[in-house]
């Protein structure tokens, strides 16, 4: 499974893992993800191994990172996967899929956010662009592996039990997270 970033995209990919696990209970599912987000797929009971990559860091200094990049590719090549499923549809994830030296499946030209990525796949699947990201990921996995996703999305994670802080009363509360990695995702200050 290849979905490297960002946090929301990684979260939206979890139900696809649940679907795969339900159709192929004995399958080994490893997940290639940006090192900063590696903790999230590790929470899913269906993921055997999380393989962190550092594409963001590598981009800053690809020449200095070339040894680490080669080591990552060698590691993926040595694993002998049956399939590399790229649910991201970006050039960076498609290039990572090539390192696996196996059948590479991903989004078709008309469905990928970066259509050139589709040229790196052996198997390409069209998935409607107007679907929510969770459903797009589920559909792609189903098409690549020969099943039809059914039922509600199951994220497959159980948060760890955490004691309720003493300062938090028994009432209802909300947690607001306001950070993002891209300026176009920021909520206008006037709307707060």
Residue 80 confidence (pLDDT): 92
* 72-82 pLDDT per residue, tens: 999 999 999 99
Q: What is the mean pLDDT of residues 9-29?
A: 98
With a cut of 90, say whether residue 192 has pLDDT above it: no
| pTM metric for this prediction | 0.84
Count Cβ atoms below 10 Å from residue 113 Cβ, excluding itself.
11
Interval 116-170: pLDDT, tens: 999 999 999 999 999 999 999 999 999 999 999 999 999 999 777 888 788 877 7
Q: What percent of the chain has pLDDT over 90?
A: 73
Q: How far apart are CA 106 and CA 27, in angstroms?
A: 19
Q: What are 174-181's contacts with CB under 8 Å, separation 24+?
A: 181/6
Q: Where are the beta strands (DSSP E) in 1-48?
A: 30-34
Q: How many CB atoms lie within 10 A of CB 118?
A: 20
Residue 127, token pair as written in the block:
């998935």
Determine contact, residues 154/20, Cβ cutoff 8 Å: no
Q: What angle do CA 146, 147, 148 make, to 5 degrees?
A: 140
Q: Which two tokens stand for residue 105?
A: 């499946």
Q: Where are the domains of the chain?
A: 7-145
What's the pLDDT tens digit per position in 49-61?
999 999 988 888 8
**Superfamily of domain 7-145, CATH level 4:** Glycogen Phosphorylase B; (3.40.50.2000)
**CA distance to 67, 81, 87, 192, per residue, from 93 (Å):** 19, 16, 8, 35
Q: Which helix (H) or strand (E) holds 105?
A: strand 103-107
């Amino acid at each position: 499974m290849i979905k490297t970033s960002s946090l929301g995209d990684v979260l939206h990919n979890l139900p696809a893992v649940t679907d795969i696990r339900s159709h192929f209970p004995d399958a080994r599912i490893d997940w290639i993800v940006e090192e900063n987000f590696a903790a999230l797929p590790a929470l899913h009971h269906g993921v055997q191994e999380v393989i962190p990559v550092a594409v963001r860091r590598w981009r800053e200094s690809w020449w200095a990172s070339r040894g680490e990049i080669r080591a990552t590719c060698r590691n993926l090549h040595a694993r002998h996967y049956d399939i590399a499923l790229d649910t991201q549809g970006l050039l960076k994830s498609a290039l990572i899929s090539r390192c696996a030296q196996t059948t590479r499946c991903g989004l078709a030209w008309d469905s990928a956010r970066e259509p050139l990525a589709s040229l790196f796949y052996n198997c390409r699947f069209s998935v409607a662009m107007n679907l929510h990201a969770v459903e797009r990921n589920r559909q792609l996995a189903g098409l690549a592996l020969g099943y039809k996703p059914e039922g509600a999305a199951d994220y497959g994670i159980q948060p760890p039990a955490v004691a309720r802080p003493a300062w938090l009363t028994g009432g209802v509360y909300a947690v607001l997270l306001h950070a993002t990695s891209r300026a176009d995702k920021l909520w206008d200050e006037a709307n707060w």
